[in-house]
Amino acid sequence: MSLKHIFVFAIAVTAVASAQAGTTQLISNGNFETGSLAGWTSATTNGQQFNAIANGGNVPYSGHAVQANSTGGTFVAVSDQNGPSGQALLQTFTKTANVNSLILEFDWFDNTHAAFNGTEINGSQQVGRVDILTAAAGSWDVTGGVVQNLLLNAGSVTGYGTTIPWQHSSFDLSGLAAGTYQLRFANGQNSYFQEFGVDNVRLTAEVPEPSSIALLGLGLLCAGLVRRKSAKK
């Protein structure tokens, strides 16, 4: 291989490494600015499910008002109901082996009008939760399919007509093994209304900097120069 070819190869390797480095978003439509739940799977036990609604608007089933998310855009996702039921919003993501940092962030509120009383989200108990699930877990799984519970019954118990502020939460999921998972926002109610809001969901994967690959290219170049120099002696 000529010196010219070695130099071109080294530059190409470095360029590829740079293009592959940086951060990647693993969640699509996390801010619901499509005006829909595109990219998400919505599950319900009675037909009343999460909906993308106007930021600061009213939920469709109970008609209750939702406080605007000051850091949100035009739309947010909110669940509500007018009877015993369960609602879940899920999206699948994959952590690859080269990811060295995985950070989940989202805005949320859980406004329940009866006291929380369990862990089930199928409509048998009054619950709000956020989980990381296995890829094969069912929408209502709260046992073996739960890899990590992030929030459980952390909302506010209020009277009817009360709106509560949005909160921002962040979780370091870097310890997850490489594989495919589901992110789930869910709530269940067996007595009274409950509104669960979600917005600005970001799952940021960071891959290693290209230094090691770039150094490989530089090493090949240096090796070629040394070999060429030795051949001339």
178, 81 Cβ separation under 8 angstroms: no
- The single-letter DSSP state of residue 39 is T
Is the per-residue pLDDT at 7 higher than 50? no
pLDDT at 228 exceeding the cut of 60: no
Name the pLDDT band for 26 (thresholds 50, 70, 90): very high
Q: Are residue 14 and residue 47 in the same domain, yes or no?
A: no
- In this structure, the answer to whether residues 223 and 195 fall within a common structural domain is no
Q: Domain check: are 184 and 226 in the same one?
A: no
The number of distinct structural domains making up the chain is 2
User: 233 and 138 in one domain?
Assistant: no
Question: DSSP for 116-178?
Answer: ---S--SSSS-EEEEEEEETT--TT--STTEEEEEEES-SEE--TT-----EEEEEE-TTSPS
**Same domain, yes or no: 87 and 136:** yes
125-140 confidence digits (pLDDT tens): 999 999 999 999 999 9
Q: How confident is the model at residue 2, as a pLDDT? A: 57
179 and 227 within one domain: no
68-86: pLDDT as tens digits: 999 999 999 999 999 999 9
Q: Which residues contact 149 (CB under 8 A, 6 or more apart)?
A: 129, 130, 131
Which residues constitute the domain of residue 232? Answer: 1-21+209-233
3 and 95 co-located in one domain: no
Same domain, residue pair 74 and 176: yes
* Shared domain check, 146 and 54: yes
Q: CA 205 to CA 129: how far, in whole Å?
A: 23
Comparing 209 with 38, the larger pLDDT belongs to: 38
Strand partners, 143: none
Would you state the pLDDT for residue 160?
Answer: 84
**What is the per-residue pLDDT for 223?**
47
217 close to 119: Cβ distance less than 8 angstroms? no
At 98, list the tokens.
Answer: 């080269």
Residues 115, 97 share a domain: yes
Is the pLDDT at 16 greater than 60? The verdict is no
pTM for this model (two decimals): 0.83
Average the pLDDT over 205-227 and give the result.
59
Give me the DSSP letters along 90-103.
EEEEEE-TT--EEE
The closest alpha carbon to 151, from 103, 180, 110, belongs to: 110
CATH number at residue 190: 2.60.120.260
User: Looking at residue 8, what is its pLDDT?
Assistant: 44
